[in-house]
Chain A
Amino acid sequence: GENVEQHPSTLSVQEGDSAVIKCTYSDSASNYFPWYKQELGKRPQLIIDIRSNVGEKKDQRIAVTLNKTAKHFSLHITETQPEDSAVYFCAASEFSGGYNKLIFGAGTRLAVHP
């Protein structure tokens, strides 16, 4: 089955700096890669996703890149703000039987210091 590795586990940046989180996956059949943000005690919320037919996607300060050959994808946050502080999870979708079963990484705790 699919396995997703995520690095780093913690990341501390100064406000205004960029933050990069990297994930690798094992199943070449995976074709959907969402990123979720989870604030303390709250639900995971989708912030951006990418499909395997696209190499890069941007949404304001957030971008995701995908390298299918190397089986890795990354989240880039530019001009970080204190409200970006949260745990970020990457996931890969193991498309099986007509549905997307998300396999998550272990998470990255991002701290943005004013």
Chain B
Amino acid sequence: GAGVSQSPRYKVAKRGQDVALRCDPISGHVSLFWYQQALGQGPEFLTYFQNEAQLDKSGLPSDRFFAERPEGSVSTLKIQRTQQEDSAVYLCASSRTGGDGEAFFGQGTRLTVV
């Protein structure tokens, strides 16, 4: 596709439910980032992949959050036992390289935990 694609666009989960958020980066992009954007705030870094390798997961808020990119393209962010504080927009971004390239963002998945 022409840009970074995320699905679903909206997700409502009951507290305690597990969710999986998908990111399709731009084809050929080496780097993939996940960010969490709370209402009225800037995006906050969650994790980074270079191809299939997860090189940085320092921003994941708890061990309920897990991300993978098994074949170096599509990535999934999984949240187990969702809590109300997990409600946010989850943004995925990709860049052609890691060190010097513009990061292109997807439209995000808005997660609401009720």
Contacts and interface: CB of A to CB of B under 8 A. Distances in A.
Interface centre among B3, B35, B43, B106 (most CB of A within 10 A): B43
Q: Which applies to chain A's interface (DSSP): helix, strand, loop or mixed? A: strand
Contacts of A104: 35, 42-44
A43 B23 CA distance: 13
A102 B99 contact: no
Interface residues of B, number: 28
Interface stretch (A11-19, A53-61, A69-77, A89-97): A89-97
Contacts of A34: 102-103
B41 interface: yes
B105 A101 contact: no
Contacts of A91: 42
Given A43-B4, A89-B42, 17 more contacts: A6-B42, A34-B102, A43-B105, A43-B106, A43-B107, A49-B102, A91-B42, A97-B56, A99-B50, A99-B55, A99-B56, A99-B99, A101-B56, A102-B43, A102-B103, A103-B45, A106-B42
